[in-house]
Structure 1
Amino acid sequence: MAFINENKKLVSIIVVLILAIGVFLSLALTNDKAIAKINGEAISKDELYEKMVKQYGPDTVEQIIAEKIVALEAKKQKIIISDAELNGEVDKLKTSYGGEEVFTQMLKANNTSLDDLKADLKNYLTLRKLLEPQIKITDEELKAYFDQNKDLFGEVEQVKASHILVEDEAIAKDIKQKLTDGADFAELAKEYSTDVGSKENGGQLGFFPKGTMVTEFEDVAFTLPMNQISDLVKSDYGYHIIKVEEKKEAKEANFDDSKADIKETLMNQKMQSEYSIWLEGKKKDYDIENSLASIVG
C-alpha cells in the first residue's frame, strides 16, 4: 500500500495549502497589494502563488491524474470495494498491532483517523484488483523467498505480561497485599506504577521474547505460570510485580504455514513495479490535457 500512498498525504496537504492560500489572497488582497516587503520592495500575492504552483504543481497534478485513471478503470471493470472487505482489512491491521488499543494509539501517533485509513485501504484494494490479474507468482518464487528469509517466519518463545513498577519496597509490598486481597491489577498499575510507558494501559507490556527485558524480570516472567502474580522482583529500576497472561512456544519456520504471508509480500512488491508500467499504458487510453505543464515548463 505504501507505493501508492507514500506521497499522498504530502500531496493532499500541498493541494489544500495552495487552494487555501489562493482563496485567502483573492479575498483579502487586491492585485497590487503586497503580502510582504523587503527594504520597501514588494512581494505580491501572484509571485507567491506562481512560486508554489511551480514548486509543487506538477507532482500534485500527476498524482491527481493517476487517481482519476484508477477510479475510471475501476468503474469500467465494475470494481467495488465492500464495507465487509474494508472492515476485514482493518481487523487484520488490529490483529497485527496486537489489539484495538494499540491500533488506536497507532492511528493517533500517525495523526490520522479511521476514516482516512479506510480511504487509503479502499484505494489500495481497488488498485490491487486492477493489477492482480496480470501478476503471476510461482511456487518457485514462494520457496525461494522462504529460503532466503527463514528468520522472518520462525517464532521464538514469547510471553505476554503486565507489571507494576515502584521505587519503594514498602509501597510494593502494600500493592502486593492489595492484589492478594483481590484488587484489580490494571487499576493498581494505573494508580501506582512509575513505568510511564505502560501504566496507562494497566501495566500491559504485550508479547516480548527473551533478551528484551532486564534479566531479573525475564527470569520470573518466563517461569511464572499464566494468570499468577509474582512476588516482588528487584531490578535496577525498582520493584516489579509481574502478571503473565499468555505464552507462545518457540516455533520453527514452516513453508506451508508461511505461504500466504509470502504471497502477500511478493504481491505487494510486484504491484510496486507493475503500477508505473500499468499507469503509463493506461494514460494512452485517455485524452489528458495538462495546462500546468505549459505554465511551469
Structure 2
Amino acid sequence: MWPLRKWGALMLSFTLALSLLTACGKAEDKEAKGKEEQTQADQDQQPTGEESPVPVVDVSLGMEPNTVVAEYEGGTITVEQFENYLAIQSFINPQAGFAIHEKLPESLQLFIDSYVSEIVMAERAPEVANAESEAKQLVDRIKSQYLMVFGNDEKKLEKQMQDQKVTDEDLTAFFVRYKKVEAYLRTQVQEDEMKKRYEEGKTQGEFTIASVRHILVSVGDQAAPPAEGEKKALTDEEAKKLADDLASRLRKGEDFAALAKEFSDDPGSKETGGLYEDVEVAMWVPEFKQAALELPLNEISDPVKTDYGYHVMKVEKRSEKGYDDVKDQIRSQFVNEKYDAFMDKELPSLMKKVNLPEKK
C-alpha cells in the first residue's frame, strides 16, 4: 500500500509512522518541561488551544458527494465513498495523509487504484474465519498507538477521530476487507513455488545465519574518530597494510576482541569486540556476505575490501534456516508480488472511467 505499494507493508507503515509520532510527542514533553522558566509575557504570545501532533487531513475533493469518481467492471465509487477511504488511510497511516493533503492527481490515482483493487480482490476471497474479530484487534492496535501519542488521553483520541471523520465501524470495515484481500492473495501462492524460491535462496545464502567477528580499517574520510583527538585518515595503501598487520597478529594468537576495540572503525561492533552475532548474512554488503558464507570457521581472513574499507574477519558460527522457519517470509514476498501483478496487469483492464479533480 502507500507509499510502498506492497500489500504486506500497510501494517508496518502505519506502525512506524505512529511510532515516530510517539517519539516526537515524548521529545515535545521534555522540551515543554525545559521551558518552565518562560515568562508570562512570552506565554501570552503563544496561540491558544492545543494542536494535535497528528495532522487532521482535509480529504474533501470539492465535488458533489454522489458524483462517481471511478467506474470499474462490476461497480462504481462515489466521491463520498472515496473521501471516506482517504480519511481512513490518513488516520491509519499519517505518511499517506501527507500525500493526500497535497491532492496531487498522481497520488489520488494511486489511491483510487488501491481502493478498486481491494474491492475486487475482497469479492474474490474465500470465506475468512474470524475476519471481524481480527479486524477489531487491528483497530485496537492503531488506537492504542494513538493513545501513546496523546498521553493516554482518550478524549484527544475521540476528537482526532471526529475531526478526521472516521469511526470504529469505518475502521473495522476497512480491516475486514484488508483481511479478505490478504486471504485472496494467499490463495494465489502455491506451495511448490514457495519451495522452489527457498531452494533458489539457499544457493545465494539468503537463509544463512552467521556470527562474525571483524575489524574494519576505513579508508580516507570514512575513518571514525576515536574518543579523544583526531584520527589520521588512511590512504588505501595504508589501510591495507594495517589490515594485513592485524590479520598477522591475530593468526599469532592475539585477542580479537581487544584488537577490535583498539583499531576497528565500525561503531556498530567496536564495543562488542567486533562481533555481529546470529545475523542474516543477506543483510551485509556483497563482499562481506560472500566471505561470511565461504570463510572456514574460526579462520582469520585476508583483508576483505568493501566500500567501507578493509575488513579482517573470523566466522565463529554459521547455520541455515529450514524451509518451515522461513515459509511465512517467502509467502509474504509472493503476496506482495501477486498484489503488484494484479495492479500492473489486471487492474487496467477492469478500470472503465476515472473522474478525479485536477490540482488547482
**TM-score range with shorter-chain normalisation?**
0.3 to 0.5
TM-score (normalised: structure 1): 0.40
TM-score (normalised: structure 2): 0.34
